[in-house]
Amino acid sequence: MKELHDIKGILIGASVFVAVILAMVIAIIILRKRNAASVPAVLPSETDWGKTLTEAESSTVKRIADALYNDLKGVGWTRNNNIYIEYSQVSDRIFVGVANYFAEQYGKGESLYEWIDSEWWLMTGTMKTSGTVDAIKMRLLSFNLK
């Protein structure tokens, strides 16, 4: 009977140990995500995109970033699908410029990727553009703009 009691004690102790280790791992992951989220998007170092835009490109960057912000801010049940389609089809210079302008003007410590990623797309009637949104997120990642 004493052996059974010892085995129960060992199992309980091992379970508590595993639970503590798991809690520590989860806490570390959450803290790392918070620290990473506070860094605004930056241009890839090998380019100067977004810094030497023409006047027409700068105007397009501002217009698209403003439209994305207006669509993403607050709680909305509808989406301006056309702005996501347009954004997904612009040149790399404008694409990166929009992401940087958005982060600087509206991001509040978060990147455009994080704003888009935090939205509830299925609840806002954008099923027809969900592929476009996914393409935008992948393209932002390809420029290290997470």
With a cut of 50, say whether residue 45 has pLDDT above it: no
Q: Roughly what angle, to the nearest 10 degrees, separates helices 55-72 and 92-105?
A: 50
pLDDT digits (tens, 9 = 90+) for 86-114: 999 999 989 999 999 999 999 888 999 99
* Residue 22 pLDDT: 72
The proportion of the chain whose per-residue pLDDT surpasses 70, expressed as a percent, equals 67
Name the residue among 51, 35, 34, 60 with its Cα closest to residue 100: 51
* Residue 60 pLDDT: 94
| Mean pLDDT value of segment 33-52 | 50
Distance from C-alpha of 28 to C-alpha of 113, rounded to nearest angstrom:
22
* Residue 30 pLDDT: 61
In this prediction the pTM is: 0.64
What band does 46 get if pLDDT is binned at 50, 70 and 90? very low
Written as one string, the DSSP assignment of 120-146 is: -SGGGT-GGGHHHHHHHHHHHHHTT--
CATH number for 55-142 (one of 3.40.50.2300, 3.30.1180.20, 1.10.220.10, 1.10.1660.10): it is 1.10.220.10
